[in-house]
A and B are shown apart, each in its own frame.
Chain A
Amino acid sequence: MSEPSRGPVYVERMSVLFRIQHLLLMISLLILAVTGFALMYYENWLAQVLIRLEGGVLYRGIIHRAAAVSLMAQLVYHAFYMLISREGKRELKEVWLTRRDFDDFLQAMRFNLRMGNEYPRFGKYGYKEKFQYWGATAGVFLISVTGVILWAETFSMRFLPKFVLDLTLIIHGYQGLLIFVILLFWHLYIVHLHPSVFPMNRAWLTGKVDAEWLREEHPLEYEKLKGEGVL
């Protein structure tokens, strides 16, 4: 910026594979939300319109389950990818929760409230990204378990009393609401509404971010890339 002759430099933040995973995740979660909330809030007029659009309760269920299969397949694929592939292992290390993240969070809060003078320096993923990642993963895992129990209801009924299935159903619904709230409030903020990226962090499409943005928001990653000679 200080040297206008040099245009912005972009560095890769999301590889093609991750972008595809992200896109699939986005599509299946949207479908699941639309079909799921239509049933959960069936009394609402919008839900009623949606159920009719989705072809009634029967086809709504089929669409919901198809998207769920896709979501669970992604979860399994992602887990293996993160544990086995070279890129996955590297990313897992970056996104792994450590004591440091909690300290970073507290430090950030202190700084924000003018109780400390140092803003934490984040690596590739700060506490905001990690909260997003692990929150969504845990949520998707729990909703998958309850979803499978409900889907295989003929099988579940052999072991589970009706009130357990009633509970499963209600947990499934509220868990969906929880994931939706995290996405709406947290994800929307950190990748869309945050002033540094508004209106949108384009990494999910181009895979790349501005090196200058990286230097400001994720300085440790910036320095690491610089050290590796990428920048």
Chain B
Amino acid sequence: MKPFRSFLLAVLLAAAGAGLAATADAGPTVRDCLDCHGDATIEKSQPDGKTLSLFVDEKTFRGSIHGKAECNACHTDAKAPHGKLAAVSCGRCHADAAKSYSQSTHGIVHAKGVKDVPGCEDCHGTHDIRKVQDPKARTFRLNIVGVCLACHEDRVIEEKYGLPDQKVMEAYRESVHGRALKKSGLLGTAVCPDCHGNHMILPGDQPRSATHRQNIPTLCGKCHSGILEEYDRSVHGKGMRAGIAESPVCTDCHGEHTILKITDPQSKVYVKNIPKTCTACHGNEAIATRYALPKKRFSTYMDSFHGVALEYGMTTVANCASCHGFHGILPSSDPASSVSKANLPNTCGKCHPNAGANFAKGDVHVEVTRQKGGGVFAVRVFYTIFIGVLVILFVLHVGMDLLGRHRRLETKPEEKKE
């Protein structure tokens, strides 16, 4: 028993000693710091004549994610009293975030000493940092857009660094994602970091960027996963995955910051705008030749009844997507395509219930040339010649009739004499 008792005593003494030593080494407590920094009027003058408030609101700090820590957890060199403290290094604890940030366009520019670019505190705050899931956090989904736009809608900064202009940023607010955020506070809507990333933001032209062309389908598919699946099976999706840069990705048809609901007349995929959107590539001579796409799809569509009716306000008529599909477009040579020979009757039948196999014979996009649209071409030529000849004959007849009438009037007096 005795040795154990003395051991216990020794442990207790050691513990007390260590405790005392710790208290002596721990430096100031939050309370100590707040003796000065809890005073709302504490401030210091800066070289440019402005004053900087040094006030720390205790309540705000206690409510923050770091509220249980002491001040010197971040301000490692803080003693009382003290002069200017070293910059806080968040990376001491948040190493991953710091590493990502250092590779981002913000981090790279920041490292060059540019002060306009955001560091940790510009997005996360300082003494008021809260978890991203906390609705009061600056980085909460519903608040983050405002944080990004604080700089990205600032014309001075935009011009100084050649950033996309205000219109691009403003477009987001009016986009389907922006409206969902503004009108409904929809947590599922896309906010800036969902597409651009958070610490690791890079411009879209860099292959590592989340918003680089090759990464777009996967990016959008994070939320629109059913559509991504369909897209990946389509000719466009397969082309894109095979590294064909011209193969369209989501943003080529839907836009980026300007994404609108398909029912919005301004949308690139609104029924009336679809033919133009598809034609951006399918009417491009270089693309059409390189990938052996069928030509004159736009003009033959616009000349058809569907095209004319769409142009003049009938939105129920077929546009490109009605027959070809949209996310899952396949070439007509693919048996699974909605416009393959076998499926065409069904596809026409969506609107025209009686259009059977018999109806689907012949070309849909009719090119009126001797080789391709022979029948229509022949009728057109026949009528043109027929009407032309008729007009000539009519004119000749009028001429001759007038001559005859003149002659009749000449001979009339003679008749009367007889």
Is chain B a partner of chain A in the same complex?
yes
CA distance A196 to B404 in the complex (A): 13
Chain A nearest CB from B358 CB (Å) reads 6
Asked whether B311 is an interface residue with its Cβ less than 8 Å from the other chain, the reply is yes
Q: Scoring A residues 36 to 71 as 1 if CB is less than 8 Å from chain B, else 0, what string do you get?
A: 000100100000100110001110100000000000
Residue of chain A at shortest CB distance from B379: A170
Enumerate chain B residues within 8 angstroms of A119, measured Cβ to Cβ: 404, 407-408
**What is the number of contacts between chain A and chain B, taking CB atoms within 8 Å?**
118
Main secondary structure of the interface of A (DSSP, over half): helix
Q: Is A206 an interface residue (CB 8 A)?
A: no
Asked if B312 and A57 make an inter-chain contact with CB atoms under 8 angstroms apart, the answer reads yes
B residues within 8 Å of A by Cβ?
305, 308-309, 311-314, 348, 352-356, 358-364, 366, 373, 375-376, 379-380, 383-384, 386-387, 390-391, 394-395, 398, 400-405, 407-408
B376 touches A170 (CB 8 A): yes
Cα separation A42 to B135 with both chains bound (whole Å): 57
**A76 contacts B by Cβ under 8 Å:** no
Cross-chain contact A161 with B358 (CB below 8 angstroms)? yes
In the assembled complex, which residues on chain B have CB atoms less than 8 Å from the CB atom of A178?
383, 386-387, 390
Task: Please determine whether A174 and B354 come into contact, CB atoms closer than 8 angstroms.
Answer: no
Taking a contact as CB atoms under 8 Å apart, the answer to whether A162 and B386 are in contact is: no
Contacts of A112 in B (CB 8 A): 400-401, 403-404, 407
* Stretch of A10-18, A86-94, A151-159, A221-229 at the chain-chain interface: A151-159
* Complex partner residue of A163 from B308, B309, B362, B400, CB under 8 angstroms: B362
Q: Judge whether A185 and B386 touch: CB under 8 Å.
A: no
In the assembled complex, how far is the CB of residue B355 from the closest CB belonging to chain A, in whole angstroms? 4
Determine whether the beta carbon of B386 is less than 8 Å from that of A42.
no
CB distance from B313 to the nearest CB of A (A): 4
| Known A163-B363, A167-B375; further 15 A-B contacts with Cβ < 8 A | A56-B313, A57-B309, A57-B311, A57-B314, A157-B352, A158-B358, A161-B362, A162-B363, A162-B364, A163-B375, A166-B362, A178-B383, A189-B401, A194-B401, A196-B405
Question: Judging by beta carbons under 8 Å apart, are B395 and A185 in contact?
Answer: yes
Is A157 in contact with B361, judged by CB distance below 8 angstroms? no
Please pick, from B354, B361, B400, the residue contacting A109 in the complex, using a CB distance under 8 A.
B400
- Neighbouring A residues of B313 by C-beta, 8 Å: 56-58
* Cβ contacts under 8 Å, B348 to chain A: 157
From the candidates B311, B359, B403, name the one contacting A157 in the complex (CB within 8 A).
Answer: B359
Contacts of B362 in A (CB 8 A): 161-163, 166
Q: How far is the CA of A39 from the CA of B394 in the complex (A)?
A: 27
State the majority secondary structure of interface residues on B.
Answer: helix
How far, in Å, is A199 (CB) from chain B's closest CB? 16
Choose among B373, B380, B387, B394 the residue that contacts A189 (Cβ–Cβ < 8 A): B394
With both chains docked as a complex, state the minimum distance between the C-beta of A82 and any C-beta of chain B, in angstroms. Answer: 26
**B383 is contacted by which of A114, A169, A174 (Cβ under 8 Å)?**
A174
Give the size category of A's interface with B: 35 or more
| Interface pairs A-B: 6 shortest CB-CB | A112-B404, A174-B383, A163-B362, A56-B313, A57-B312, A161-B361
Known: A111-B407, A112-B401, A189-B394. A167 touches B376 (CB 8 A): yes
- Could you tell me if A162 and B359 are in contact, using CB atoms closer than 8 angstroms? yes
* Contact indicator B361/A169 (Cβ below 8 Å): no
Give the residue among A56, A108, A112, A189 with the most B Cβ atoms within 10 A: A112
Q: 16 A-B Cβ contacts within 8 A?
A: A57-B312, A108-B404, A114-B407, A157-B354, A157-B356, A160-B358, A160-B359, A163-B363, A163-B375, A166-B373, A166-B376, A167-B379, A185-B391, A185-B398, A194-B401, A195-B405
B387 neighbours in A (Cβ, 8 Å): 174, 177-178, 181
Contact (Cβ within 8 A) B361 A162:
yes
A113: CB under 8 A from chain B? Answer: yes
Complex Cα–Cα for A180 and B364 (A): 30
Whether A31 is near chain B, meaning CB under 8 Å from some CB there, is: no
Least CB separation from B377: chain A residue: A170
B364 to chain A, nearest CB (A): 7
Known contacts A163-B363, A167-B375; A42/B311 CB under 8 A: yes
Query: Is residue A75 contacting chain B, with contact meaning CB distance below 8 A?
Result: no
